[in-house]
Amino acid sequence: MIHRYVAILALLPLMGNAYAAGSTPQALLLAQDAVIVDTHIDAPTELVAEWQDLGALTPSREFDYPRAREGGLDVAFMSIYTSPDEDRLGTARQIANLQIDAVEAMAGRHPDKFALLTSPRDVERLRAGKHVLLALGMENGAPLGDDLAQLAKFHARGVRYITLAHSASNRISDSSYDRNHQWQGLSPFGKQVIAEMNRLGIMVDVSHLSDAATLQAVQLSRVPVIASHSGLRHFTPGFERNLSDELAKAIAAKGGVVQLTFGIGFVNRQAADDLQAKFTARAAFDARNAEATQAGKPLEDAAAFEKEWQRTHPIPETPITAVLDQIDYAVKLIGIDHVGLGSDFDGVSGNLPEGLRNVADYPNLVAGLQARGYKDDDLRKILGTNLLRVWAAVEAGSEHPQR
Ligand SMILES: [Zn+2]
């Protein structure tokens, strides 16, 4: 939109250090003008755990309204996340609903700043009012329980994608982090879930899934699927949480989009190796304690284990080029129409690359890609329109595409 260009040009002399961290005036312009969609921001979990007013600058968090505007973020998918523990305890559905309440309250408190977004058709109209648009993505299908009817209920509450599983195999699907691949992919219930998601117009998200589950989901879905926040295994060999070349290609061949994530654990090989080693060490620790329990012997201290692990495995410093390299590789592998962004802000304990630490930083990414020769029209696709295209296709493929 041209009037935003003009407005930002007028502001440039006042912006001072805004682009000192690696951005440029051209990058700031494009970040403001393009539709930026980020498909994974963990603000709701944080809101419920320790409430903050995200309409105001909140330096202890990675998402808030002032910095979203500064970074040009238009559509922020709020992650409605529940853990395998909450699934086991039967609290996942309640927690998910409370997180949705928290997002609604945030939008309701600041109707001048935030607007809830449930359809890609509303993006242009709503962003014209300087709103940051809040869409809902559910991370982990645990809140569904074994009840297919929950899908329509969460759809009615605004949920527009579901990551079928998180860090453990659940009723729907196997997880990449879980050595127990109980379903060899999707469960029979999981296959019904995908059909119902297609019918309702909820995007299927394959991030976190095992390889077999990812491939089955891509094949089974009638419409394109997304990976809402994944890295590429090319850079982190053996790390199943990141997509193999073959799976990235399969998602693209179906018309879908791979939303690349920023967390150091996903884009830095050492960090990914450490994470996998930790899973192994922690499994051994748990097994020793299970044996000790059986034998009536004293248990090892879990907090001490975690502390020692962190001391001996510091998070490696990682430059923004690690993310730029992933984008470059993905564009060459699967094409410019199938790559997007899913930061995982507020979801990786601050373990983010230099220059890509919160929602004010998208211009740094834009500047890095412009320096590598990306044209603005191609950058617009990566920044947001690819995801909006897939969302529109999923909506069009649903049973009630007309509202
Ligand atoms: Zn995640």
User: What is the band of 403 on the pLDDT scale with cuts at 50, 70, 90?
Assistant: low
- DSSP-derived letter for residue 259 is E
**Ligand 1 center to 166 CA (angstroms):** 7
**Ligand 1 center to 96 CA (angstroms):** 15
pLDDT at 86: 96
Instruction: Map tokens 């507020």 to a residue.
Output: 346
**Ligand 1 center to 259 CA (angstroms):** 12
Instruction: Map tokens 């440029």 to a residue.
Output: 24
Q: Would the pLDDT of 252 be above 80?
A: yes
User: What is the band of 155 on the pLDDT scale with cuts at 50, 70, 90?
Assistant: very high
Six-digit token pair at 227?
Answer: 């990976």
**Ligand 1 center to 343 CA (angstroms):** 10
Average pLDDT, rounded, for the chain:
94
Residue 256's contacts (CB-CB under 8 Å, 6 or more residues apart) are 218, 224, 225, 226, 227, 338, 390
**Ligand 1 center to 226 CA (angstroms):** 13
Q: Would the pLDDT of 36 be above 90?
A: yes
What's the pLDDT tens digit per position in 41-98? Answer: 999 999 999 999 999 999 999 999 999 999 999 999 999 999 999 999 999 999 999 9
**Ligand 1 center to 99 CA (angstroms):** 16
**Ligand 1 center to 84 CA (angstroms):** 12
**Ligand 1 center to 111 CA (angstroms):** 29
Q: Would the pLDDT of 229 be above 90?
A: yes
The pair phi, psi for residue 280, each rounded to 5°, is: -65, -45
**Ligand 1 center to 348 CA (angstroms):** 9
Residue 9's contacts (CB-CB under 8 Å, 6 or more residues apart) are 29
**Ligand 1 center to 5 CA (angstroms):** 34
In b/e form, how buried is each residue of 356-395, taking b as 16+ CB within 10 angstroms? bbbbbbbbbbbbbbbeeebeeeebbbbbbbbbbbbbbbbb
**Ligand 1 center to 208 CA (angstroms):** 7
**Ligand 1 center to 209 CA (angstroms):** 10
Q: For 59-63, which contacts have Cβ atoms below 8 Å and span 24 or more sequence positions?
A: 61/346, 61/358, 62/343, 62/345, 62/346, 62/350, 62/352, 62/357, 62/358, 62/359, 63/345, 63/346, 63/358, 63/359
- DSSP-derived letter for residue 315 is P
**Ligand 1 center to 402 CA (angstroms):** 31
| CA 6, 9, 14, 16 torsion-angle sign | positive
**Ligand 1 center to 237 CA (angstroms):** 19
Q: Would the pLDDT of 119 be above 60?
A: yes
**Ligand 1 center to 11 CA (angstroms):** 36
Residues 293 and 288: their CA atoms lie apart, in Å, by: 9
